[in-house]
Amino acid sequence: MWNLLSLSKTNSKDDRKLITAIKTIAGFTPSNLSLYKLATLHTSKAKEIAGFRESNERLEYLGDAILGAAVADYLFKKYPFKDEGFLTEIRSRIVNRESLNNLARKIGIDSIVQYDHRNTQLQKVILGNTLEALVGAVYLDKGYLRCKKFVIDKLIQPYFDLEVVVNSDTNHKSKVIEWSQRNGKEIKFEITETKNGRGREFSAQVILGGEPFGQGFGLTKKKAEQDASEKTCVMLKI
């Protein structure tokens, strides 16, 4: 196990680079550097040992939960008179994949993540995952209270204007669902998958009260649903 004494004696250039990065990102010196090494190790660079490929995926799973809890706690206290639907929506806007990818890039995760650079598309999708893994490493290294402070002081407050987040209404699916609830209409999303020369594509059809509305397309189910929801918003003028 790493400790502060061993960190001071490290001769590895990569170790020193990682320590400096963690101090810059999180504001403290890591006590257990091995956790942060693992947090920045994508599966594309991981080595298989005894049938197990050790990468940052387990820390990502843990960090996802801790990050969600810390943000939920922060919003719960900041908005004491808002209902759970509002709190859930704002949390989702903060911790969604695109938002975390952008945040990870801003704080310099791209400079420390270890991945197969031959795959030029990887960095576009792994930064947010690595940030979640980093949160998991901080939690194991420093405990929940210190980790929550890191999330709020170093990630949320410097990079998210909550007034802007609250007033930005880009989640078309949520808007359609809220409309259906207000108007007593059952809502369904019918998903179909097609294959073409480029790979898979999904189609989503919004069904409101048994009637078809917007139809959308995308390379993922989520994007297809959002596209269909956006077209439905236009049709419903919401």
Q: What is the DSSP string of 68-131?
A: HHHHHHHHHHH-TTS-HHHHHHHHHHHHSHHHHHHHHHHHTGGGT-B--TT-TTTHHHHHHHHH
Please tell me the distance from the alpha carbon of residue 141 to that of residue 183, in angstroms, as a whole number.
Answer: 49
Q: List b or e across 26-50, with b for residues whose CB sees 16 or more CB atoms inside 10 angstroms.
A: beeebbbbebbbbbbbbeeebeeee
64 is catalytic: yes
Q: Exactly one of 60, 89, 132, 161 is catalytic; which is it? A: 132
Please tell me the distance from the alpha carbon of residue 94 to that of residue 68, in angstroms, as a whole number.
Answer: 9
DSSP category for residue 221: H
Please tell me the distance from the alpha carbon of residue 136 to that of residue 77, in angstroms, as a whole number.
Answer: 23
153 is catalytic: no
Alpha-helical (H) ranges within the chain are 4-8, 13-26, 33-39, 57-78, 84-95, 97-107, 123-142, 144-150, 157-159, 162-167, 172-182, 221-236
The residue to which tokens 């405990």 are assigned: 143
Q: Exactly one of 64, 141, 225, 230 is catalytic; which is it? A: 64
| Number of neighbouring beta carbons within 10 Å of residue 231 | 18
User: Which residues are identified as catalytic?
Assistant: 64, 132
